[in-house]
Structure 1
Amino acid sequence: PVEKIRGKLVLIGTSAVALNDIKTTPVSAALPGVEVHAQVLESALTHTVLAQPNYAIGIELLGAFVLGLLVIMFTPNLGPVTLVGAGALFATVLVGTSWYAYKEQRLLIDFTYPLLSTTAIYLTLIFASFVREQAQRRQIRSAFGQYISPALVEQLAQSPEKLKLGGEEREMTIMFSDVRGFTSISESYKADPQGLTALMNRFLTPLTDAILARKGTIDKYMGDAIMAFWNAPLDDREHQINACNAALDMLEKIDALNKEREIEAQNGGHVYIPINVGVGLNTGVCVVGNMGSNLRFDYSVLGDSVNLASRLEGQSKEYGFPIIAGSRTALAAKDKFAILELDFIMVKGKKEPEVIYAIAGRQDVAQSAWFQTLRNLTIEMLACYRSRDWDGALSSIERGRRRDEAGSLSHLYKLYEARIRDYQKNPPPADWNGAFALLTK
């Protein structure tokens, strides 16, 4: 009927599959082609055409650039949780803006590209940060693997911010150790240099293990000598105590090694020469960091306290005690070790005198009756000596010798007896403060 179609737009099409007018659209997998025309016609008549403005691509590119720049700027400084939260907020804002333009303005501004590109940048930064962190950890493990214990190396690798390279001032405890009479030992291996090398490795290994086990850092090996320090590169609040424990552990390991070597010498029928070690400890402010040249450098320590530690190691044979410590080391560890004051000395090359102490053992030794008796007699002897009461000092020495059945203080008593005899003949000057000037390093 005419009235059915008058003033109307009529579309005639087919929906049979065989007529090949079935189309696939974003909203349907099988839509008759005539309906596509109907949708276009409806959009034209209702003025609801979905449009992509000319500036849409520019907005998408600008969004990708701004978001990528923000990610590059803030990724290194923000934590992962904060960064993910901020990213989710930005993504919500972009998606909401795109939906509003589509729903209300019928504009197609697609923020999928900015979001995908920003995500790619973020993942790239994460991967680069991971690679850089792994490289830094490898560098730290390589740089310090030969100096400190594996546990401390791993701690540095996990927290590299604790490492400050290039020179840093801090209070540290320094150790120097050396083998006494090493010349005689080396002469006995004159025909067997490989045997001497094996022996050096054999006694340096347990000494190194003792240092590393007590949180120490190996600075260098100097022939049969070892230089080590505490409280760098990682903080160690008990560096004086750990250094003293390491020194005593070293003596115990040397005793065990000497027993093994003595048995081997008896079974092999060759000469046995025991290894004796002298240790010097000192605490003070030092500069620690990478030192050397542009071609080669080491993580090392410098300072006046280092020199004094070296001097104290050299004096251990003079006083008859294998471990000699400076005043700051000894006083910090006095409650945990058997500490015995030895002398008030003026080291060659220094202007200020230093009180030095012997580390004679741990608390069991400190609490023993014989040590307390000998320590009191030594304190009495030193008081008489410094007040120029030579007879009183000699009397204290004689009483100490009678109490010292093991002869632990025999070298010390001989040293002071010789000094006192000399002072009796040639009295010190009137302004003498009790300090003894060392003539050798």
Structure 2
Amino acid sequence: MRLSKNSLLRVLHYLIPLGILLTCIFLRWQDVPFVDQMRMSVFDTYQRIAPRPFEDVGVRIIDIDEKSLEELGQWPWPRTRLAGLVYRLRSAGARVVGFDVVFAEPDRTSPARVVKDWPKGREIGEITALAESLPDHDSLFAKFIRGTGQVVTAIQLSTKKLETPPRQIGNFSVSGEAGRQLSDFIAVLPGAAKNLDVIEEAASGNALVNVSPGQDGVVRRVPLLAALDYDLPAIGMPIYPTLSMEMLRVLQDAPRTMNVRLSGASGSARWTQSEGVEAIRVGAVTIPTDYAGYMWVHFTGHKPERYISAVDVMTDKLPADSLRNTYVLIGTSAAGLLDLRSTPLDRVLPGVEVHAEMLEQMLLGHFLTRPYWAAESESLALLLIGLFFVFAVPRLGAVWPAVIGGTLAFGAAGISWWAYDAKLLLIDPVYPLVSLLAVYLATSSIGFMRTEGERRQVRTAFGNYLSPALVNELSRHPERLKLGGETRDMTLMFCDVRGFTSISEGFKSNPQGLTRLINRLLTPLTKCILDREGTIDKYMGDCIMAFWNAPLDVENHAHHACDSALAMRQALDVLNTERLAEAKRDNEPFLPLNIGIGINCGDCLVGNMGSDQRFDYSVLGDAVNLASRLEGQSKNYGVDIVLGEEVAKRVENDFATLELDLIAVKGKSEAVHIFALLGDGKLCHTDAFRNCAALHKSMLAAYRQQHWQEAENLIAQCRQASRGIGALAGLYDMYAERIATFRTSPPPADWNGVFVATSK
């Protein structure tokens, strides 16, 4: 089945925006880079507007800064110096010490290694033997780590393959998602940079220092755990915690097993099909995560209060008790050591401070989260509001959906900000709003193009009910589209369908069929008018109002109107013939269509009339009202075309007309002569018509003189003479009925034959 152009446009008005909506939802779930970056930019803005307030909970960074390198020498320092640093920290009251440094290579300053670089001489053997008898710096460092306790060393997962994996001290248990492995969700890397075995064996914890910046190089979230692609007997892939979380475990002297709760675990408030990590419990602290086990960092920004220069610790320059009950991370801010990161608040920040901020949040129980249901909620809101736009804009227009959409946009932004500021939840308002804007623009743009197309069709359609001359005139002179008018001599026509109520009753269950029938009727009738320089003023249901001689002059406009009326009669006959054949074919009842036409001439006011907001080119005047009344009287006189007296005078030599009556139509006290239009000039000049017209004229004279018998005799003759000329039987029946009434109830003696109409 082929769709019309308009039907296709209507379908596309829904399909194209719907396709855009579904594409936006698809891109959202694919997490394409630009979508993710858009979301991250919003969350960064929130953090810049309202960063986490800094609360000093005792997290300190022992900073291997430029000052320390200048006074104590270049990096790497001897492990004996680092051993002294650990000893001083623990002695000063630091509760836990975490290294943001990997000790992957042996200490070159160990005596046995230094002597290898000395020149060969006679004493080298003795010196080598003496050096080998001295303590190895790595072993000494490991003894200090073991002896002081509560020290966490670092692992850097990478793409570099290792023969043996780093030591896994903290283990993980998993609840929820039966049959799923933790490695199904978290990051898995093929290799790692690990500490020397002797150092690892001495540590209380071994942890990741990876911070995983986003695609734009900005750190926003950090993996709390990651796996190494290495198969260990009995346990499979080793999994390592991040530095801050391992320090939290060691600090609490918690069991080595930390619990990872997946989204399907018992007690999880899961209402979607999302899968992945939901939270990690370390001792008494539960840390919410995203599906891949990442923790969102709620930054305070760089705080100098966190930092203590390593050289100040080594030279005992710190005030007493300044490190008591602190949680210490050892890292570097020196630019040359390449541990600098970018965050939403700082373009350059030492990586160790990211771990410090995370540890602060864990100690405070302050967690910024993007709940697992956020993506589903955002997509559901996008779908529902998008469908509203898809279906509402074509019906309501662009304005009200825009107002509603703007309200929803402000509401979504407000809710998102409230969720962040009050509940520490990250809800993305921007991508749904941008997607909805795309859907709205597509819908309204298609609507605009469709409207413009309809306007073009309307301009084309003006030719169906306005004279082409008017369309051209208004196209050339649009300034004429203003309120006001002019008085012109015009011919007016009203045409109405007879018995339309009975016809419409047959279409109670098929209103579309009634519409098609009316269009099928009005189309040829309209063409008859327009082809003869007429203008359609308006359609009123099954009625047509038309006029001639405006806005441009039309010569012999009364003739054009009469010619149009006769053509309309012929067009109606053709249509009824077609409908009769269709009714017989479909075995359906047939009701013929009949019309009544009233035509009148006179001076009228014509022009653009209405209000400043809307006006129509129309016509007003007494002649218009009379034309309407004449059309209404056609059914009473049993003829289909009734002319006013002025029209009859103008066309009497070119059209076959007969006077119908002297009548005072309803609403008028003055009587007028009205006439029937029977045919064109050919009929007018036939002997049969002339004979009929003479008898008819005599009949009217006898009737008005109250010569009832003579009038009745002439009626009989008129019936005989009118055969083949026109359908006048109803007219003569009416006069016969009047005469019968007047015989029993005679009119006044001064009666002049005027009939006072009581109906329109």
TM-score, normalized by length of structure 2?
A: 0.38
Q: Give the C-alpha shift of residue 371 in structure 1.
A: 1.9
Q: Give the C-alpha shift of residue 238 in structure 1.
A: 1.0
For 1:165-184, what aligned pairs fall within 5 Å after superposition?
A: 166-184=484-502
For 1:113-132, what aligned pairs fall within 5 Å after superposition?
A: none
Residue 295 of structure 1 pairs with residue 601 of structure 2: no
Secondary structure, in 3 states, of the residue corresponding to 2:642? strand
Rounded to whole Å, the distance in 1 between the matches of 2:718 and 2:564 is 29
**Residue matched to 1:275:** 593
Rounded to whole Å, the distance in 2 between the matches of 1:382 and 1:405 is 18
Amino acid across the alignment from 2:514: L
The alignment's C-alpha RMSD in Å is 2.3
Secondary structure, in 3 states, of the residue corresponding to 2:484? coil
Deviation string, structure 1 residues 197-228 (Cα, Å, up to 9, x no partner): 11111111111111111111111111100011
**Residue matched to 1:430:** 749
**Residue matched to 1:439:** 758
For 1:33-432, what aligned pairs fall within 5 Å after superposition?
A: 145=463, 147-151=465-469, 153-154=471-472, 157=475, 166-406=484-724, 408-432=727-751
Residues 490, 548 of structure 2: 8 Å contact kept: yes
Secondary structure, in 3 states, of the residue corresponding to 2:657? strand
Higher normalized helix content (fraction of residues):
1
Rounded to whole Å, the distance in 2 between the matches of 1:283 and 1:164 is 26
Residues 325, 357 of structure 1: 8 Å contact kept: yes
Residues 699, 715 of structure 2: 8 Å contact kept: yes
Residues 384, 390 of structure 1: 8 Å contact kept: yes
Q: Give the C-alpha shift of residue 422 in structure 1.
A: 1.5
Rounded to whole Å, the distance in 1 between the matches of 2:480 and 2:648 is 28
Amino acid across the alignment from 2:727: S
Q: Give the C-alpha shift of residue 386 in structure 1.
A: 1.2
Q: Give the C-alpha shift of residue 424 in structure 1.
A: 1.9
Structure 1's consecutive aligned runs of 4 or more residues displaced over 4 angstroms after TM superposition are 140-146, 155-165
Q: 1:143 to 1:404 in 2, by over 3 A?
A: closer
Rounded to whole Å, the distance in 1 between the matches of 2:607 and 2:480 is 13
Residues 163, 233 of structure 1: 8 Å contact kept: no
Residues 156, 234 of structure 1: 8 Å contact kept: no
Deviation string, structure 1 residues 388-407 (Cα, Å, up to 9, x no partner): 21111111001122333357
Amino acid across the alignment from 1:424: R
Amino acid across the alignment from 1:343: D
Q: Give the C-alpha shift of residue 237 in structure 1.
A: 2.2
Unaligned runs of 5+ in 1: 1-137
Amino acid across the alignment from 2:714: S
Q: Give the C-alpha shift of residue 295 in structure 1.
A: 1.9
Rounded to whole Å, the distance in 2 between the matches of 1:401 and 1:237 is 36
Deviation string, structure 1 residues 246-273 (Cα, Å, up to 9, x no partner): 1111111111111111111111111111
Q: 1:179 to 1:435 in 2, by over 3 A?
A: same
TM-score, normalized by length of structure 1?
A: 0.65
Deviation string, structure 1 residues 335-360 (Cα, Å, up to 9, x no partner): 11101111100111112110000110
Rounded to whole Å, the distance in 2 between the matches of 1:145 and 1:165 is 22
Q: Give the C-alpha shift of residue 408 in structure 1.
A: 2.3
Rounded to whole Å, the distance in 2 between the matches of 1:423 and 1:393 is 12
Amino acid across the alignment from 2:745: N
Residues 496, 542 of structure 2: 8 Å contact kept: yes
Q: 1:263 to 1:143 in 2, by over 3 A?
A: closer
Q: Give the C-alpha shift of residue 294 in structure 1.
A: 2.2
Q: 1:412 to 1:390 in 2, by over 3 A?
A: same
The count of residues paired between Structure 1 and Structure 2 equals 303
Q: 1:162 to 1:235 in 2, by over 3 A?
A: farther
Structure 1 stretch displaced more, 149-158 or 410-419 = 149-158
**Residue matched to 2:446:** none
Rounded to whole Å, the distance in 2 between the matches of 1:246 and 1:374 is 24
Secondary structure, in 3 states, of the residue corresponding to 2:553? coil
Deviation string, structure 1 residues 50-85 (Cα, Å, up to 9, x no partner): xxxxxxxxxxxxxxxxxxxxxxxxxxxxxxxxxxxx
Unaligned runs of 5+ in 2: 1-455
Q: 1:162 to 1:241 in 2, by over 3 A?
A: farther
Q: 1:426 to 1:167 in 2, by over 3 A?
A: same
Amino acid across the alignment from 1:183: T
Residues 148, 215 of structure 1: 8 Å contact kept: no
Amino acid across the alignment from 1:178: D
Residues 141, 154 of structure 1: 8 Å contact kept: no
Residues 483, 610 of structure 2: 8 Å contact kept: no
Amino acid across the alignment from 2:519: N
Amino acid across the alignment from 1:439: T
Residues 481, 608 of structure 2: 8 Å contact kept: no
Secondary structure, in 3 states, of the residue corresponding to 2:710? helix
Structure 1 stretch displaced more, 243-252 or 393-402 = 393-402
Residues 152, 215 of structure 1: 8 Å contact kept: no
Q: 1:143 to 1:402 in 2, by over 3 A?
A: closer
Deviation string, structure 1 residues 263-305 (Cα, Å, up to 9, x no partner): 1111111111111110000011111111112222111111111
Secondary structure, in 3 states, of the residue corresponding to 2:465? coil
Q: Give the C-alpha shift of residue 185 in structure 1.
A: 1.1
Residues 339, 360 of structure 1: 8 Å contact kept: yes
Return the index of the structure with the highest Cα Rg.
2
